Structure 1
Amino acid sequence: MSGRACQVLEACDIVVGYKTYLELIKDVIKDKQTLATGMTREVDRVQAAIDAALGGHCCALVSGGDAGIYAMAGLVLEMLALKKIACNTGEQGGLWVEVVPGIPALAAGAALLGAPLTHDFAAVSLSDLLTPWEIIEKRLDAAAFADFVITIYNPKSKKRDWQLNRAMEIILKHRAGTTPVGIVTGAMRDNQKIVLCALKDLDKAEVGMQSIVIVGNSSTFIYNELMITPRGYSKKYEI
């Protein structure tokens, strides 16, 4: 967690979040009041946090990674806008909202792999719960064609077990089968696991919901089990 996140959790009265995330930070929040919900109950969590804040409490809504990257910050602000609840204006009946930066999975995963995101990259989620699969395919194809390093969120789950193989097929239209791929599961957690493979072998790799998959671009290479994407310094300067 960022230092600011720790400060906020210490200062707040109520902590709202997905029950698994609250369990991960139980040593930090200790005996504070908590409101937990299960998976896919994001709207309920946000509503509970808004209600607590409108009731006069200092409330923290927690997310995994960074709250603004595939997480809860956007939904909070969207619901405030839809309900016409003023935020950060000092208006009567309004709320003060702070989006606290965290460490996203793409940053934690990249650090464990080496330096795969040193040049331009794109992040794509394979979850089609909120985004139509046709759009996801278009984004994957465009990112692969443009030679972006591609960071894949939500690559696979028990119910979504075919999307990653399809993503591999799309990227292979524009990339060599030997392109390096890094898979980090449970980044910075007790179950952390790091695997390197070639793009053509991605369908054989062990991947789950706690995994982030980073597909290199045409310049990415492996050195001493580290994944490296050059920025271009060696072409411009003598190294």
Structure 2
Amino acid sequence: MEPDRITNLPDNVIEGILLHLPMRDAVRTSILSSKWRYKWATVPYLVFNKVFCPFYQNPTDITSKIVSIIDRVLVLHFGVIHKFELSHREFEAVSDIDRWILHLSRRSIENIVLEIWQSEAYKYLAVGIEPHKLPEPHVELKYISIYINLNNHEDSLTFLCLLSTAPNLDELEMTAHPEEQTIGGIDTNFWEDGCWNLPFSKLRVVKITGISGAKPEMDFIKFVLLNSPALERMVVEPVFTSDRWELVTKLLCFKRASNQAEIIYKNP
């Protein structure tokens, strides 16, 4: 009888194959043989996007299905998780995100990407007046990519909470969406408040896109520059604005904790 080539593949080859498969297909490999059954459960990159769950289904059904699958994947996964990404235009924000983030915070996560479009903005992690920290710092979290409305008070509290639990943050990418209706306007001095003691001691690269030049957005940029002694480069790419030169002037006038910090302005 001819040897089963799939079953007898070396472990490093199997791991390489799984890394190049979408999450859905990686899980499906469990039926190939007993050797493959739980190999997918060690994949360090968990990406749940449109490939994982197509758009054509009813949004409510998609949300329920995604929640069920992510729960199962996280329970069965027993390896290191370097990246967790949830990006789906039909996914409706749910409180289950709380559980997932708390779970990931105990798994040496390095990269969390949440892109949620449906329903009202979901305010995870931020409860009450002050942002609540996660149980343990994300010491392995070195990259954050977030889509946020800085004109919204609760969004900003949530953002603060996430930043405060990433002491080794190396790169921050933020996309603003000021065009959305603000729910509970932000205090005009929110980012200027002296109680936010968040020194970004290892932050080197920041990319900010989609801003319109609103005061909360500019205050946030100023806040980052003042608290990032290791910053090397900040890229700012706003949406179209008639006050381009005024925005550039403000950026160049902001004080910087790092003498090496370079501000790169990109025309929209």
Q: TM (normalized to structure 1)?
A: 0.32
**Per chain length, whose mean CA-contact separation is higher, i.e. which structure has more relative contact order (CA < 8 Å, sep 6+)?**
1
